[in-house]
Amino acid sequence: MLDYSLIQEAADRLKKRVRRTELIHSHHFSDTLAYPIYFKCENLQRTGSFKIRGALNFMTSQPRESLRNGVITASAGNHAQGVAFSADLLGVKATVYMPEATPLQKVLATRDYGAEVVLTGKNFDEAYAAAVQAGKSSGALFVHPFDDPLVMAGQGTIGLEVLEEIPDLANILVPIGGGGLIAGIVSAIKETHPHVRVIGVESAAAPSMHYSLKKGSIMTAPLTVTLADGIAVKRVGKKTYPIVRDLVDEVVLVEEEEIAQAIVALLERTKLLVEGAGAVTLAALLNQRVRDIAGKTVCVLSGGNIDVKTIALVVERGLLAAGRYLKLKVELDDVPGSLARLSADIAETRANISLITHDRRSKALPIGRAEVLLELETRGFDHIQQVVGYLNSQGYEVEVMK
């Protein structure tokens, strides 16, 4: 376990420097899941995520001389902003190495805080290796994104805040990337409330902690593209792994469609904008990834730094996953009135056409036939079945698109 006194000291150090984020009770999700649900809104934190806690705690704990050559780090985005903000606050230079595919919003925000940004590598681990090498050459102090006791202690202050407001807490769900956030929180909570169930959540596209726990040692996990880019780490920390192994009760995985659906649900039902890495906790609950759960339950929404292009993609995927959006391809006879008849038949199903494309020139189509691509607003999977069934009954050749 992380030394509990480090977390208490971090709380004192950060008290007037970071936001004590809101802990919101959700009536909707409590009713849906049949137990009390609360959200710890680190998406509303300064810089848009919890990462400022660890970065600032680490940097303000250092002797001034060690900051003389500035600081350097690697990040997928949120830690970058935490370090950049903290460096600006302390008046020191910050250099941040970020993967080339980092969302533009996170890159621009990091630069706005005054840091020099270097885009390199296909993923966090490649950017991390480049940052470590550059730090050795420049003499800048390396601020680890997760595998440092002071960083973990800063993140652990979230656990203290939750317990102060909900002393009878039963469960807390925490996103896992490198493991610093959950290592800090579980250390803070288990010290005084060992009965609280602490559950980690990862994307199935980046299952580094789940994979390592299954194998019994730290392993490099395969990565694929994920909406939860903030927790897409190939290899967890040497210091975080044993804490998670010994103290965390369970680590579960969620799929991309489930993450998208959770982001949309949070937007619609709580008016909270949360990035993929932050939404994995709610995704786990909505999709019954955690068994036998009851009592007051907190989902840590770890960040809200999501760019507009990703929001558009996520909303579409989330609506698809919830049965609220349907794409169809239909072939028609290329004669006057065919398209009007199709539109009238769709109206009979009470689905709403949001986009329609009519093509009669494709070489793949027989002469005298036309292809229509439709995007429909629907009211769930039962409604989708009704729409497709009705169109089939009217003689249309219908293909559901994914």
Catalytic residue among 51, 106, 234, 296: 51
CB 132 within 8 A of CB 39: no
Catalytic residue among 49, 86, 212, 302: 302
CB 178 within 8 A of CB 240: yes
302 is catalytic: yes
Radius of gyration from C-alpha coordinates of the chain: 24
51 is catalytic: yes
Give the active site residues.
51, 302
